[in-house]
Structure 1
Amino acid sequence: MDSSWGTIDRLVGWADEAGALPPGEERLLRILKISEEVGEVGRAVIGATGHNLRKGVTHSWQDVQDELCDVMVAAMIALRTLTPDAGAVFAERLARVEARSQAVREAR
Structure 2
Amino acid sequence: MDAEAWETVDRLVAWLDAESALAPDVELLLRFMKLSEETGEVTEAVIGVLGQNPRKGLTHTWDDVDSELCDVILTAMVALRTRNPDAANIFKAHMASVASRSLTTTNRPPHSRENPPRARPVVRAQPAGSTVRGAVNPTFD
2: CA distance, partners of 1:71 / 1:98? 21
2: CA distance, partners of 1:16 / 1:63? 28
More strand by share: 2
Q: For residue 56 of structure 1, what is the aligned residue in structure 2?
A: 57
Question: Runs (4+) of structure 1 moved beyond 6 Å?
Answer: none
- Output the amino acid matched with 2:85: P
How large is the Cα RMSD of the aligned pairs?
1.1
Per the alignment, in what secondary structure is the counterpart of residue 20 of structure 1?
coil
Query: What fraction of aligned residue pairs are identical, expressed as a percent?
Result: 51
TM-score by length of 1: 0.95
More helix by share: 1
- Output the amino acid matched with 1:17: A
Q: Which runs of 5+ in 2 are unaligned?
A: 111-141
- Output the amino acid matched with 1:90: F
Q: Which runs of 5+ in 1 are unaligned?
A: none
Deviations 1:58-102, CA, capped at 9 Å, x for gaps: 000000000000000100000000011000000000001000112
TM-score by length of 2: 0.73
Alignment of 1:1-108 (within 5 A): 2-103=3-104, 105-106=105-106, 107=108, 108=110
- Output the amino acid matched with 2:33: L
Q: Which has the larger radius of gyration?
A: 2
